[in-house]
Amino acid sequence: MKKLTGLAVVSLAVALFAQDATNEQDVAQLDEQVVAVEQKEADVSQQLLEMQQKLQAQQDAFGQQLADLEQKLQEATSPTLVVEEEVVVVEPVVILEEKTKKYPKIKQSGDINFIPRIEINTEKDFNGDKNENLMNGNVRRFMLAWNYRFLVEINEKLEMGFRLSDPEGGQGETVVGSGKSGETNQLSLLKPALPNAWFTWKPASVFSLSGGLVNVASNTALDLSAVAVTKNPTRNFSTTFYNSLAGFELAFPITPDARVFVIGGLANNENWARDPEVGTDSYSNGKFIFGANLSFAESKICLKPAIQVLTRGDDTHGLFNSDSRPLVTEGIDMGFKVSDGYSLNLGAGAAHDWDRRRDNLTLFNLSAEPVFNFGGENGKFFNFRVKYGFFILNDSENDDVERALVQYIDTRLGIAVNEKFSIVPRYRLWTGNCNGDWQFDFPTNSDDKSSKSLHRFEFGFAASF
């Protein structure tokens, strides 16, 4: 019995010991779990702290940027003192606002040309024998030509301007020091003329209207008309009508580099005077020009077609006569820029003259002019061009009359000393069927070998501002 009791006590002790061991193991595992949870809480707290720090840093950076923007805005909307060469200038700066243009705007420009000229006439008679007339007193000239231009832009839609010039020097008629039997015409060098005074109104972007003494740029059609009027192949539009016309011009811009225009007015407004013989107002010729200035391929190709209608009065007193039919001229100028150093200009035109004394006369003109730029840093120090062309005068109503032919060559070398001063040596030659007054003259028959040549040498000096 004692043995059973002892065995029971021992068994109970062993059981209690095993239970204590189990409890201790559970406690240890529980402690480990508590430590793990505490570690995770610490990690989460650290992450939250780092996130709060990052958020605070971002808020601080954003606040600094906002403060910088407010400072810049305050500085931009306040007057700024700019110190330059010890002079303090107040320059108000406006943000996102276009500066207001100030009117009126005034522009001035001008140029002056000195041109010594020598001309040599060579003639051939009916048999083709040569007769030279070398450098007589009538063909040595020292010419002075000048222009002054003044333009006022009143507002965005209206501008006015005028141009003063020497009325004779630019046409090659002023003689100083020699020629004209030793006479001089120095007074004309100082006596100004008003060849252009005009206004231009631009009520819309699609058209503009100019009026007054309108400047008209020369072209093949207008030059051919001047030759047809004077019957002189050495003349051109600028020397006959002074590059101006009393009338109006209506222009329609197509692009910034292209436009279509219509010009109408009086071709020779100096005829508006009372005729002393018949006691009536004289009739002035009218002129209408339809043309366009077009450019393509970034202005490498330029086309300038033009048609001109010139009405005419009676030759005796300048009175209108229904038998005097108009002179119609059409032409086109073409420019091709092959490269920075080379370009080519072409011109073609025809003039139709229904003259009651000579029936139907047709004058044709063709020309070609290569242009070369070279020399200097920009390749434009020298500008050399040579132009060849010819005029053909034809009487379509009389098959027995031979055609009259005049050929011409114009060579120029432009030396650009700087942007405001240049030197231009120039040589021109006309040769063909002309009489002593340099007017077209039809050959009497196919055996007629008479002709005339004009050599013109110039050495020009041109300055501008």
Please state which of the ranges 71-75, 415-419, 428-432 shows the lowest mean pLDDT: 71-75
| Segment 34-58 mean pLDDT | 76
Q: Is the pLDDT of residue 355 over 80?
A: no
- Measured CA distances, 244 to 80, 213, 437 (Å): 50, 6, 26
Write down the domain spans for the chain: 1-96, 118-138+203-464
Q: Please report which helix (H) or strand (E) contains residue 191, including its range.
A: none
Backbone angles phi, psi at 127, to 5 degrees: -90, 0
Query: In the prediction, which pLDDT does 450 show?
Result: 76
The answer to whether the beta carbons of residues 265 and 285 sit under 8 Å apart is no
Preceding peptide of 104 cis, ω within 30°: yes
The two structure tokens encoding residue 90: 């107040």
The two structure tokens encoding residue 453: 């040549």
Please state which of the ranges 125-129, 187-191, 245-249, 305-309 shows the lowest mean pLDDT: 187-191
Q: Is the pLDDT of residue 446 over 80?
A: no
More confidently predicted of 333 and 340: 333
DSSP secondary structure letter of residue 438: S
Q: What is d(CA 161, CA 194) in angstroms, rounded to the nearest whole number?
A: 11
Query: In the prediction, which pLDDT does 96 show?
Result: 47
| Segment 15-36 mean pLDDT | 62
Q: What is d(CA 225, CA 349) in angstroms, rounded to the nearest whole number?
A: 10
Q: What is the pLDDT of residues 175-233, one digit of tens each?
A: 443 333 334 445 555 566 777 889 999 998 889 999 998 888 889 999 998 888 878 88
Given pLDDT bands bounded at 50, 70 and 90, which one contains residue 398? low
The two structure tokens encoding residue 252: 């329609």
Q: What is the pTM of this model?
A: 0.70
State the Cα torsion 425-429-434-435 to the nearest 10°: 50
Q: Is the pLDDT of residue 126 over 90?
A: no
Q: What is d(CA 221, CA 307) in angstroms, rounded to the nearest whole number?
A: 7
The two structure tokens encoding residue 127: 């048999």
More confidently predicted of 252 and 57: 252
Given pLDDT bands bounded at 50, 70 and 90, which one contains residue 351? very high
Q: Please report which helix (H) or strand (E) contains residue 142, including its range.
A: strand 140-153
Q: What is d(CA 157, CA 463) in angstroms, rounded to the nearest whole number?
A: 32
Average pLDDT, the chain: 76
Query: In the prediction, which pLDDT does 274 show?
Result: 41
| Segment 103-119 mean pLDDT | 88
Q: Is the pLDDT of residue 337 over 50?
A: yes
Backbone angles phi, psi at 120, to 5 degrees: -125, 125
DSSP secondary structure letter of residue 441: -
Topology of domain 118-138+203-464 in CATH is: Porin (2.40.160)
Looking at the chain, the whole-number percentage of residues with pLDDT higher than 70 is: 67
Query: In the prediction, which pLDDT does 37 show?
Result: 67
Could you tell me which residues come within 8 angstroms of residue 33 by beta carbon, excluding any fewer than 6 positions away? Answer: none
Q: What is d(CA 196, CA 213) in angstroms, rounded to the nearest whole number?
A: 5
Backbone angles phi, psi at 59, to 5 degrees: -65, -40
Query: In the prediction, which pLDDT does 461 show?
Result: 93
What are the respective helix, strand and coil percentages of the chain, to the nearest 5?
A: 20, 50, 30
